Amino acid sequence: MRISFLRVLGGTCGLLLSVVGCSNSAATSHDGSIGHGGSSADARVASGGTPGTTSSGGAAGSSGLGRGGADGAAGSGGSGLGDSGAAGGTTGIPRDAGAGTGGGGAGGVTIDGSATGGTDASIAGAGGRDASGTDASIAGAGGRDASGTDGGGGKGGIDAGGTGGILGTGGIQLDGGGSTGIDGGCGPSATAPAVTRGGQYFGFPEKFNRYYTDCSWQPSSTVYVSPTGSGDGSSSTSPTSVATALAAVVPGRKVVFTAGTYSGCFELGSDQSGTYDNPIVLVGERKADGSPAATINCCSTGRKTCINLEAADYVAVDGFELVGGDYGLRSVGSDYPADQHQKGVAVLNNVDHGQNKDPFFTGQSDWFVIEHCTGYDSGPTDGHGIYLSNGSDWNIARYNETYNTSSSDFQINADPLSTCDVYDDPECDAVAGSSTTGGRGASDFMLVDSNFFHHSKAQGPNFTSVRNSLIKNNIFALPATHGTSFWQETDNPKLGSSNNVVAHNLFITQANGDHAVQFIVNSTGNQFKNNVVVAVTISGTTISANPQGLLLDTDSTTVQANTFEHNAWISGYFDSEDSSAPYAPNANELRLTTFQASWFGAFPTGVGHDPAAFAPTATAPWLDLGNLLPEVPTDRDGAARHAPVDLGPFER
């Protein structure tokens, strides 16, 4: 084995993301343009979260120090308060993201992780950790038994921050909230929202869907539907039809799709929008194992979209299986100017598959969340997994999985070729939030966190004109052709995929000559830190080093214009798109020419669905080689990172 450590390039750039406390057709839609190595697809849908009650978690200390979050509020089943949060870390970085152990009362959580109180107590809130970093979140899901049955509880402390944020000054702050129950906001996952209601996101007041950000949210009314419903919709035993319920939908209403198989395509238009305070929520009932019990088989005429949100704002779609059609969930604004973008759609816990085009698609959709969704078997008509397009800004994509896609498994394509008349103009290249109508040719302030994008039948993720964003803790694994690309489609340097933090990710290529990672065409000012980049050959059950796998592809505009620091480069080689010299690793990076499958928990030779297969074993050579980054204080499982940190998405 040959191991060499090389030196690192220059400075850092700060992202500020502070957080407090997460149709009827007719409207104009626009096609998303071609991604790098992909082809065009038109605009698409979104989904939301499931209800529950939970106490809020502790707030972090100022400047992200997190010196013990405040006690959580009492749970609904009792009166005792949760214990205070664990002590934070040093140098402005909270060891536990500054979370308080949340939400106690009956069903609360003590600092050692034990539950207190009686039956039917609410879940722990912002769910801090104990002093050792262990999750202090064991109350039952959905506000159930405080004995810990059904798991759940916070992880709310993950990425939580106080004044100044997780990252401290200039960093990215994410404030997790509590988990959820059955009747309120935040959806059924035990994962806390990345942003909680009323906070700041990249320095902007958050405008996300309240169903996602506010675990205490309750609908003002609830209507039940079924595949053959003809009742008044007042209960699950008297459901009405989907068409009747959607025709009468109003802000604040939750529409519950009872278990069963639905056939058709369902739409909400601009006159069927929710509001920031009162979202509209479409939620599917679940099976005992938490998987969707409401399945929609898409129609084969018209838009061919299972659920279409045509310029409809503040709608959440949560917990469906969507099968076939051209699109599963499609969510678009009314036009390209920023003031005509859609706002506040949440897509949570959906499983979409078998679409001709894309399982999940957005266009001109700001303040959009897609979380805990799965998309697979897309195509053959340029089927991506998740496609966010047309200059959408302030988006979150977390804990999603895609595989077996016929085109890019994950794509953010700001699409200036379609959205801009002139590229070198503020209407096209302005930073989001600096202009009422401008900035339509770039996507700014995107959080791409802890996703599992793997085994695309074509290329891996495309980040096209994506700027000022955070890409962390993801697994980008084993596409059939090239891997992750940061690039743009124009000659305007301002539209490069620039000023992003790309940290603690795993990139794996298996294709000879195709890159694992690429920065080209004025994609500059990026910080590429603490990542693991691997080139392998898979033959039957044998996995070996691949010297013909391209680890990093650059060009003359990018090779010296990005910061690469504390990365591991395994097997493979480096190359350039033009006559410029390819990248050469720095002195504090790890460069290996060999590979051992035993470095990973269970490196797959085929399609698998457990991200832990890519977790490092004790023999992995990239353990304890990185600096603790304020942008990434926890790993993809929520474990606190401790300096020196492990590279990649997992911390042992």
* 579-595 per-position pLDDT tens digit: 999 999 999 999 999 99
Write out the residue range of the structural domain in which residue 556 sits.
504-652
Final residue of a structural domain among 206, 236, 265: 206
Q: Do 448 and 77 meet the contact criterion of CB atoms below 8 Å apart? A: no
In-domain check, residue 476: yes
Domain of residue 318, CATH code: 2.160.20
Peptide bond preceding 644: is omega within 30 degrees of 0, i.e. cis? yes
Final residue of a structural domain among 184, 206, 228: 206
Q: Which of 91-100, 268-277, 334-343, 641-650 has the lowest mean pLDDT?
A: 91-100
pLDDT, residue 344, reads 98
In-domain check, residue 276: yes
Nearest to 249 by CA among 434, 24, 33: 24
Q: Which two tokens stand for residue 284?
A: 């599917």
* Residue-wise DSSP of 31-98: EE---TT---EE--B--------B---PPPPGGG---SPPPPPPPTT--PPPPPPPP--STT--TTTT
pLDDT band at 48 (very low <50, low <70, confident <90, very high): very low
Tell me, yes or no, whether 517 and 447 share the same domain.
no
Q: Tens digit of pLDDT for each residue in 398-454? A: 999 999 999 999 999 999 999 999 999 999 999 999 999 999 999 999 999 999 999
Nearest to 228 by CA among 214, 215, 216, 244: 244
pLDDT, residue 191, reads 84
In-domain check, residue 75: yes
Distances (CA, A) of 621 to 476, 517, 624, 647: 19, 20, 9, 9
Q: Which two tokens stand for residue 617?
A: 């074993």
pLDDT, residue 381, reads 84
Secondary structure of 189-230 in HEC code, one letter for each residue: CCCCCCCCCCCEECCEECCCCHHHHCCCCCCCEEEEECCCCC
pLDDT band at 382 (very low <50, low <70, confident <90, very high): confident
- 55 against 593, higher pLDDT: 593
In-domain check, residue 5: no
When the pLDDT of each residue in the chain is averaged and rounded to a whole number, the result is: 79
Distances (CA, A) of 517 to 403, 476, 573, 591, 648: 18, 10, 11, 15, 14
Confidence (pTM): 0.76
Q: Do 531 and 566 meet the contact criterion of CB atoms below 8 Å apart? A: no
* Residue-wise DSSP of 495-516: GSS-S-EEES-EEEE-SBT-EE
In-domain check, residue 232: yes
> DSSP character for 541?
T
Tell me, yes or no, whether 444 and 307 share the same domain.
yes
Tell me, yes or no, whether 224 and 331 share the same domain.
yes
In-domain check, residue 446: yes
Tell me, yes or no, whether 567 and 648 share the same domain.
yes
Tell me, yes or no, whether 144 and 285 share the same domain.
no
Tell me, yes or no, whether 198 and 297 share the same domain.
no
Q: Which of 152-156, 232-236, 473-477, 630-634 has the lowest mean pLDDT?
A: 152-156
- 187 against 314, higher pLDDT: 314
Q: Which range has the top average pLDDT, 35-39, 108-112, 454-458? A: 454-458
Q: Please tell me the distance from the alpha carbon of residue 193 to that of residue 447, in angstroms, as a whole number.
A: 12
**Rounded average pLDDT over 385-394:** 98
Q: Please tell me the distance from the alpha carbon of residue 636 to that of residue 475, in angstroms, as a whole number.
A: 10
Tell me, yes or no, whether 263 and 400 share the same domain.
yes
Q: Tens digit of pLDDT for each residue in 65-115? A: 222 333 333 333 322 222 333 333 333 322 233 333 333 333 332 222 333
pLDDT band at 239 (very low <50, low <70, confident <90, very high): very high
Place of tokens 């606190």: 640
Helix (H) or strand (E) holding 419: helix 416-419
Final residue of a structural domain among 150, 177, 206: 206
Tell me, yes or no, whether 474 and 563 share the same domain.
no
Question: Which residues, in sequence order, are bridge partners of residue 310?
Answer: 269, 332
Q: Which two tokens stand for residue 624?
A: 């304890």
pLDDT, residue 106, reads 30
Residues of the chain above pLDDT 70, percent:
71
Question: Which residues, in sequence order, are bridge partners of residue 452?
Answer: 401, 475
Find the length of the chain: 652
Residue type, 523: S
Tell me, yes or no, whether 169 and 257 share the same domain.
no
pLDDT at 510 over 50: yes
pLDDT band at 330 (very low <50, low <70, confident <90, very high): very high
pLDDT band at 118 (very low <50, low <70, confident <90, very high): very low
Tell me, yes or no, whether 161 and 235 share the same domain.
no
pLDDT, residue 72, reads 32
Going by their DSSP bridges, the two strands 589-592 and 3-6 should be labelled as antiparallel
Tell me, yes or no, whether 68 and 160 share the same domain.
yes
Place of tokens 């390039």: 9
In-domain check, residue 29: no
Tell me, yes or no, whether 457 and 545 share the same domain.
no
Helix (H) or strand (E) holding 246: helix 242-247
**Number of domains observed in the structure of the chain:** 3
pLDDT at 44 over 60: no
Q: Do 255 and 236 meet the contact criterion of CB atoms below 8 Å apart? A: no
In-domain check, residue 143: yes
Q: Which two tokens stand for residue 195?
A: 């942003």
Q: Which of 148-157, 166-175, 354-363, 498-507 has the lowest mean pLDDT?
A: 148-157
pLDDT band at 205 (very low <50, low <70, confident <90, very high): very high
Q: Please tell me the distance from the alpha carbon of residue 241 to that of residue 512, in angstroms, as a whole number.
A: 53
Q: Which two tokens stand for residue 489?
A: 């489609």
Phi, psi of 503 (to 5 degrees): -140, 145
